[in-house]
Chain A
Amino acid sequence: MTNRFKGPDAEENVACNLIPMIDIMFLLLLFFMLGADMSARELEDVVLPKADQVAEESKIKQEGEGDRTTVNIFHNHTTPGVAECPAFTSGGVCRDLSHWMIAIRANYYTLDTIVKALDDEAQLEIEEVGKDGKAISKREVMIRADENAPYGYIQRVIEACAKAGIYRIAVGAARPEPAG
């Protein structure tokens, strides 16, 4: 008697076709590779204040426009004892100025050392010499400060810019997520 319900032969080749899967994998890989941020560490992880009127940055440099220095101001999240600051971790405003840090291109500064760093940045692009003989720089400083940073700290950084002869200041903000 012949078996009418015979299953697949053990010898039958059941190799699966991997090509479509490889195609999909390549597409996924391409997507993640292009989306990955491999740029130089100019931007620190900072929770920026939200503002709906913020102007998107133009990647095209205007004539006579200088280069930009990005100054990141953020709460110290590496030093033990400071990183667990209860005021900051609870989402409040930490007003201990020693808990805050400034970073320019992954180099870290305090309020005392930032003046020298900004002075060096200003010297890179001198625009003119002012009435008092002080050099005025055309370099732009972009301040990316955490939304819970005390204004007094940021004010000292802006003051350091003024002392260094930098007058073009930009304030970084994030566009809020659209509702819904």
Chain B
Amino acid sequence: MAGSQDPNENPVAINVVPMVDVIFCLCVFFMCSFKFKQIEGKFDSWLPKDKGLGPMSADLVIQEIRVAMFWDDATQTTLRQLGSRKVKTDEELQALIRQGFDDAVRTGHPDIPVTIDAADKVPWKDVVTVVNLCKREKIEKIEFAFGAAPK
């Protein structure tokens, strides 16, 4: 039989046992170090090239959709506000962003940015959630507001 270990059938049979041992060791090594890769991606954003880190002019402040985010120590949650309106759910915030963006398009400002103005204590995942909501509305221009340095 082909591949048989019987020396009578095949007088020049190779002893495959050491090779099997080595392959087992290699297999165990790669199995132990194996990790399924998480699907990762990115959100592109651009910092202003020629504005620097100084304060914005008044007319620029008006032409934006600003989402303010605060951390509430009492409830251990992030509070979100669009303009003067406090927003509780993601769906509500997405609807408000959509409404603000549609209004801006109607008034001739289709390139209006969404500015995320988050407090230092806000978790990064909550900021990314707002970025994600903007991307759902196909808004490409997303900016991060800069505050004072943390103490």
Interface residues of A (CB under 8 A from B): 13, 15-19, 21-22, 25-26, 28-29, 32-33, 35-37, 48-57, 92-93, 95, 97, 130-132, 136, 142, 144-156, 158-159, 161-163, 166-175
Contact = CB atoms under 8 A, between A and B. Distances in A.
Given A17-B3, A32-B34, A36-B30, A152 B120 contact: yes
Interface in B35-50: 35, 37-50
Nearest to B51: A162
Interface of B: 1-6, 8, 16-17, 19-20, 23-24, 26-27, 30-31, 33-35, 37-50, 52-53, 69, 76, 118-129, 131-132, 135-136, 144, 146-147, 149-150
B132 A52 contact: yes
Contacts of A93: 121, 123
A171 B135 CA distance: 13
Given A17-B4, A18-B5, A152 B121 contact: yes
B122 A150 contact: yes
Contacts of A32: 27, 30-31, 34
Contacts of A132: 52
A163 B53 CA distance: 8
24 contacts: A15-B4, A28-B27, A29-B26, A29-B27, A32-B27, A33-B26, A37-B35, A53-B132, A55-B43, A130-B50, A131-B50, A151-B120, A151-B123, A152-B120, A159-B146, A161-B47, A167-B46, A169-B46, A171-B43, A172-B40, A172-B41, A173-B41, A173-B132, A174-B39
B40 to A, nearest CB: 5
A175 B125 contact: no
A171 B40 CA distance: 10
B13 to A, nearest CB: 9
A148 B126 CA distance: 9
Nearest to B38: A174
Nearest to A45: B35
A54 B41 contact: yes
Contacts of A92: 76
Contacts of B146: 155, 158-159
Given A15-B6, A51-B129, A155-B120, 6 more contacts: A17-B4, A33-B30, A51-B128, A54-B42, A147-B128, A167-B48
Contacts of B35: 37
A149 B123 contact: yes
Contacts of A25: 20, 23-24, 27
Contacts of A55: 41-44
B41 A151 contact: no
B46 to A, nearest CB: 6
Contacts of B121: 93, 95, 150-152
A74 to B, nearest CB: 11
